Amino acid sequence: MLIPVILSGGVGSRLWPLSREHYPKQLLPLVNEQTLLQNTITRLQDLPNQADPMIICNETHRFLVAEQLRNIDVHAEHIVLEPIGRNTAPAVAIAALMAPADALLLVLPADHFISETNKFSEAVIEGVSLAEQNNLVTFGIVPKSPETGYGYIKAQGISVERFVEKPDLETAKQYVDSKEYYWNSGMFLFKASQYISELEKFAPDILAACRETIANAKQDQDFLRLDQTTFEQSPSISIDYAVMEKTQQAAVIPLDAGWNDVGAWSSLWQVSEQDDNNNVILGDVLTENAQNCYLRAENRLLAAIGIKDLTIVETADAVLVAHKDHVQDVKKIVNRLKQQNRSEVELHRQVYRPWGSYEGIDAEERFQVKRITVNPGASLSLQKHYHRSEHWIVVKGTARITKGDENFILSENQSTYIPLGIKHRLENPGKIPLELIEVQSGSYLGEDDITRYHDTYGRVE
């Protein structure tokens, strides 16, 4: 039995401002109409003897992940929620401990793109026989150029000689010219029992922490919540450092299938459709004498004139302009945003919730205006606020309102006022999305001014 283990815990900060902590790159449709997570799962459809996938993700992303699986009609065997990131070795240890001992685990990052899925399937099938012989298989990408952003694998046939850190440019050129090195893809295939056996030899502290974590895990609706106290006791370390660089059982399968880790805007430019001037143009964009650019407009008209080799990405609350040779430095901007406690590093102006979404329209010191969309049949929690009151105006659909002891229906162009300190709830009993305008006023307008009394989505402490 082959169990896909999809690692979806990353943030993708080098693709800011599109990728943010609460809506990272693997959950975005960056290359085609599907998100990278959906692409990762759908490319597995031709593999034989395949079980339902296991998804390991950040707790913050749980409802987005579940919704994206539903949208492609995929059932996950488990959606495992990490309370804190501990890198790939502990994440895969959790999967191995949960799987049948003789199961083969196909470990895949959720944020890669592979254009030739048939070649990917062939490589996996080739790797199955090696994994069944207790080898820990990794997939080495046949390098097309001397890249300094990837680790490398030196191999003799299928035998791994050594793993190599990211090299400088001159060293990378030597690696590519020698034909003995592959890019390290971060994709693996092995028996669950064999990975556990290798952890016992090389990283017993990881294994012990993960065993205790699973023993204390709790099922929450469709999700398995890992215990934070025990999980954070595990060292934070990658599979490469913890096991693959130490084991005598490592094997490599060459993979030449149009792989890209979509790690930066330059990578996305490479895998996206380009026009006659080698520009990638997405959204409402007009160009005049522009060449070799990645131009993406999410909300407004973007006009580009007389430019070359630039990445320009427009979102509702931020605009990125970067030369293609410096897109790796986007992470430095993200770090500065974190230091300044800027919300743009975490959230988009439109924020998704399990019941729908809200979008900030205007804000000042003592008021803010939001546009709220509630999905059909969904409801917000029964809650109250200590520092703000709210006005709700229905602009589309039908709302069921709970306000103190009152329960009533509002239709389009009707409104209500929720005083500070009053328990209230908003529901959509209809079959179309409910849209309303919310005006908040008060001394404090932060999202943490919410006391929940009942919640369909388990967000009550």
Q: Which residues contact 408 (CB under 8 A, 6 or more apart)?
A: 400, 401, 416
pLDDT < 70: residue spans in the chain: 460-461
pLDDT of the residue at 362? 92
CA 344 vs. chain centroid, Å, equals 17
| Token pair recorded at residue 336 | 């500065």
Query: So what's the pLDDT on residue 458?
Result: 78
Instruction: Give me the helix-helix angle, 204-215 and 88-98, nearest 10°.
Output: 60
Instruction: Give the whole-angstrom CA distance, residue 403 versus residue 417.
Output: 9
Full-model pTM: 0.90
Q: Measured between alpha carbons, how far is residue 307 from residues 16, 277, 290, 312 in Å?
A: 21, 11, 5, 11
Tokens linked to 406: 């009152």
Residue 45's SS3 state is coil
Structural domains of the chain, ranges and CATH numbers in brackets: 2-260 (3.90.550.10), 265-333 (no CATH), 350-454 (2.60.120.10)
pLDDT in tens, 220-252: 888 999 999 999 999 999 999 999 999 999 999
3-state secondary structure of 410: strand
Could you tell me if 195 and 235 are in contact, meaning their C-beta atoms sit under 8 angstroms apart?
A: no
Tokens 């007389």 label which residue?
A: 306
The pLDDT assigned to 460 comes to: 67
136 CB contacts (<8 Å, ≥6 apart)?
A: 188, 190, 194, 195, 198, 243, 244, 247, 249, 250, 251
d(CA 327, CA 295): 14
* Cis bond upstream, residue 17 (ω within 30): yes
Q: Which pLDDT score, from 0 to 100, does residue 123 have? A: 96
pLDDT of 12 reads 87
Beta bridge partners of 441: 367, 389
Pairing outcome for strands 54-58 and 2-8: parallel
Q: What does the alpha-carbon distance between residue 32 and residue 379 come to, in Å, rounded to a whole number?
A: 31
